Every structure is written in C-alpha cells, then in structure tokens.
Copies of this chain bind each other. A is one copy, B any other.
Amino acid sequence: MPTNELIKGTLGTIILKLLQENGKMYGYDITRVVKQRTDGKILLKEGSLYPALHKLLAEGLVKTEEMLIGNRPRVYYSLTPAGKKQIAIRTEELAGFMESIRTIMGIQTTLSHG
C-alpha cells in the first residue's frame, strides 16, 4: 500500500502511460521516448527498465508479444484491462503527490499563458 513512500513506483506509472498512448512498445523504444520527451533529463537504464517491465508483467498490468525483426528478438508490451484501470488510479495518485510537493516547496509551474 504505497500511501506514502514519496513517489516510489513512478517508473511503473510512466511505462503504463506510454503504453496507453502508443498501444504497444518495446523496451529500447521506451528509453528513447522518455529521453526525448524530457530533453535527455531522464535517462532510463536497462537495469531499471527491464525489471520494472517484468514486475508490471507479473502484476498482470501488461502483456507481451515476442517477435523477430530480422534475426533480432523484440518484446512488445501492451496494456491488459487491469493495466488500463490502473492508469487512472496511478496518474491521479502521482498528480496528487506532486501537487502536495509543490504546495510544500512553493514551486511554480512553467506556464505560457496568453
């Protein structure tokens, strides 16, 4: 029950969200998207990513589909129904947590308003 635990499990939530957007993705793909979307600020390591994916799989939140591209194996991940449900829950949890942190820290969000 991660009521607290100051944000742990963020990576799992990020992965679920990306799968929701893109339908199916494979590991290497995810690292690139995260890197690109964060201007290189968040660099996922294989040692973080693959265990996180395996955990989501064990939890039944994602499923896999293996295929060969040429001679190279590739494992696509996509959401299960349970995974789809989890996204709303986790996103809200994460948003709420970040809102709390912002309240404490007095952090302003970068806004282009017009």
Using a CB–CB cutoff of 8 Å, the interface residues on chain A facing chain B are: 3-4, 6-7, 10-11, 13-14, 17-18, 34, 37-39, 41-45, 91, 94-107, 109-111, 113
Contact = CB atoms under 8 A, between A and B. Distances in A.
Q: How many monomers of this protein are in the complex?
A: 2
Nearest to A18: B104
B10 A101 contact: yes
A109 B110 CA distance: 10
A39 to B, nearest CB: 8
A14 B91 CA distance: 22
A17 B104 contact: yes
Given A6-B7, A41-B100, A43-B4, A94 B109 contact: no
